[in-house]
Amino acid sequence: MKGKQKSIGWFIGFALISIALLPVLLLSVINFFSTIHSLKTNVANTQKGTVSAVVVAQQELFANTDNQMQEIAQFDVLQNAFDLSQIEHALITASKGDHNILSMTFATENAAECVSTLPLPADYDATTRPWFKDAVAKMNTLVWSEPYQDIDSGDFVSTVSYAFKNTQGQLGVLTADVSFKAVSDLIKALNTSEGAQVSLIAKSGIVVASSDKALVNKNYPFATLFKSVVQANKEADILKLKQKEFASVYFNRGTAAHPLIVLATMDKVVMQKTLWFQVLITVVLILIMLVIILINALFITRLIKGVVALFTTYFKRVGSGHLSKIDTKSEQATKTGQSMPRLLYRAVHPDEKGNELQQMSAQYNLMIDSVAQLIQEVQAESNEVSQRSASLLELSKQTNMATEEVAETITGIAQVTGSQANETERSVSQMNELSTHVNELMNSVEVMSLQSAESASINQSSMQLMGEVNGSWQDEMQQMEELMRSMDEMNDMIQNITQIIQVINDISYQTNLLALNASIEAARAGESGKGFAVVASEIRNLAEQSKESTKEIAAIIEQVQHRSTEMVEQTSRSLAGGEKQTTLIHQVIQTVQEVFDKNQTLLNSIESLETVANSITNVQATVLENLENISASTEENAAGTQEVSANAEEVLATSEEFTQHVSDLRQIAAQLQRSASKFTLS
């Protein structure tokens, strides 16, 4: 059972998702905490700005009122003898110029002397009022009362009083009821965010103005918070007190002269809702980015897997011997079952100036072309080598057979010559015993006559065999010379082919020039010469192809010429060895001829012995000397024959080795041809 095919798709997808998701998560977390920090900072800044605006507004209210009170106190009607009617008129005029002043009152030490911008009760006694007493207690000092709610308007007001003496030494107390409506309106206008609350609180804890109308004219409900603000060391600061109700608190306690507390708070629940909303937005963004990343990762993974599968398919075809180039048509991709065929082939179609994948496809096709050309050349060369190795094998077998025949013949000659040497030695021994065996001379002469006749017959046979060997060897030499001439003729033919290729090159060059001139003339001819320009372009392309083909043929012929030269040299060496063997065979024939002549002489001498037996004693020494010479010649002949036999055996061994090498070469050529034939080009 086959295992599940492994794929890098999951790894690539995981890597892409990780690479894309980690920065998104990191940026989202950083953005989340940055948003929270910004939100808290904005809330704190908003609280600080709101409190500062309220403080500035009330300080302007106090400062304007103080300045106006002091200016009124310097009026002539107040610095000279008091004239209540004139003072009343002046107070009415002054109060109309400031909308924050609800009413103004002037009183003297005399309870009956009191005027106001508003009607006063008949029994009104100003000297009994707290503002009169406080002002008199602090002469020439503006004294502000605790804010209280006006019955008529419902607004919180504060009474400011100022006690002074005029130039006549008369005591007068000037007072004004100042409204906090402007500050209250400002607080309402500044409070625009949900959960934020701004309150102006008197030192007694009464809420003078607030963004929450339900708190006005009531004690501030958060006593612990109010107590912490009152006991704070700083005049204005963020209160670092853990409150269950508030997320942040900023306060300003005012001054000693105007101890009004401005308190800005942010509801904790609203703040948490805002934070959770930011968390939700962050999570939604992360999910959206995750979906986008997954889609992109899936797309890129499928594209990469498609590219890898495409190249794997073509590499498998190459491995099976089918050389095919990458097709640029998307329809072909559909036939192969590839997913995303149009996009895939748009990404990997061969283009040397395209992207990296397109360049790789173009280089793959160039590699297929180069390999196909190489295999075609190898197939052609292997066929040529196979044919020539077959011819060499047949020729080496013929040479081997001829060499074996020569070796056998020379071995027979060596055996006969050895027996002749033995017989000659026995003849010498008999001649040494001739002096003691005179009576047996005739018998010995007859025996010697028979032996000489046999030796002559054997020598005659040896002469015939050597003649046959010489004839066979001459035939072999003629075949080798014919082979040499054939190789020379083939070399000359190759040279002629080279000259023909040069002529073809010249023709292609001239054709290329003619095509170029024709293109120029066609271009000059304009629209009417376009067809001729196409023909000229095709002719030039054919000329270029002819030039490239002649180059390839020239390269192949150069290789064949090189191998032919090596074969000529090897055949020349074989011819030189054959000539040497011819010389040795001639020497053997000459030696055998000499032996034959000596045997004829010996036979004649024996025949003479039959007629001159009586004079044998006189010529005994001469015969003995002749026999010794014959023995020496025979031994020399035997040694020469053995040397020729050894050379023949060496030639036979060399021929067998050459035959084996040629056979191996033929097997290698056949194997190379089979291997090259496995590859097919489409």
Q: Give me the pLDDT at residue 136, please.
A: 92
Residue among 270, 339, 267 at smallest CA distance from 301 = 339
Closest by CA position to 591, among listed 416, 454, 405, 438: 416
Can you list the domains of the chain with their CATH numbers? 48-271 (3.30.450.20)
Residue-by-residue DSSP string for 105-132? EEEESSTT-EEESS---TT--GGGSHHH
Banded model confidence at residue 162, pLDDT cuts 50, 70, 90: very high
Predicted local confidence at residue 650, as pLDDT: 72
What pLDDT, on the 0 to 100 scale, is given for residue 159?
A: 92
Per-residue pLDDT at 172? 92
Which H helix or E strand runs over 402?
A: helix 356-432
671-676-679 Cα angle (round to 5): 140
- For position 516, what pLDDT does the model report? 76
- Residues 356-370 have a mean pLDDT of 79
Q: Is pLDDT larger for residue 281 or for residue 624?
A: 281
d(CA 336, CA 662): 48
Structure token pair of residue 113: 């002397």
**To the nearest whole percent, how much of the chain has pLDDT over 90?**
5
The C-alpha atoms of residue 232 and residue 548 are separated, in whole angstroms, by: 100
Query: pLDDT, tens digit, for every residue of 309-358?
Result: 777 877 887 777 777 777 655 444 444 444 446 666 677 778 777 777 77
> Would the pLDDT of 482 be above 70?
yes
- Alpha-carbon dihedral of residues 199, 202, 205, 209, nearest 10 degrees? -30
CB of 454 closer than 8 Å to CB of 573: no
Q: What SS3 state is found at 161?
A: strand
- pLDDT tier at 483, thresholds 50, 70, 90: low
pLDDT at residue 144 tops 60? yes
Question: What pLDDT was estimated at residue 279?
Answer: 81
Name every residue whose Cβ is closer than 8 Å to that of residue 682 and which is 6 or more positions away in sequence. Answer: 322, 323, 324, 325
Q: How far apart are CA 264 and CA 239, in angstroms?
A: 10
517-539 pLDDT per residue, tens: 777 877 777 777 677 677 777 77
For the record, the structure tokens of 155 come out as: 């607004």
Among candidates 167, 258, 260, 173, which has minimal Cα distance to 209? 260
Which of 394, 575, 395, 396 minimizes the C-alpha distance to 473?
575
Residue 1 has pLDDT above 50, yes or no: no
Looking at residue 331, its pLDDT comes to: 43
CA-based max dimension of the chain? 221
Helix crossing, 84-96 with 9-73: angle to 10°?
Answer: 160
Over residues 164-177, the pLDDT tens digits come to 999 988 999 999 99
609 vs 215 pLDDT, higher one? 215
pLDDT for 336 equals: 46
Residue with tokens 């590499």: 315
The pLDDT tens digits of the residues spanning 390-421 come to 777 777 677 777 677 766 776 776 676 667 66
Q: Which residues of 655-680 are buried (b: 16+ CB within 10 A; e: fewer)?
A: beebbeebeebbeebeebbeebeebe
Cβ-proximal residues to 521 (8 Å cutoff; 6+ apart), any chain: 529, 532
pLDDT per residue as tens digits for the range 206-222: 888 888 888 888 888 88
* pLDDT tens-place string over residues 294-311: 887 777 777 777 777 777
Please tell me the least confidently modeled range out of 22-36, 204-218, 221-235, 447-461.
447-461
Is the model's pLDDT at 606 over the cut of 70?
A: no
Q: What is the mean pLDDT of the chain?
A: 76
Read off the pLDDT of residues 378-389 as tens digits, 9 standing for 90 and up.
777 777 777 777
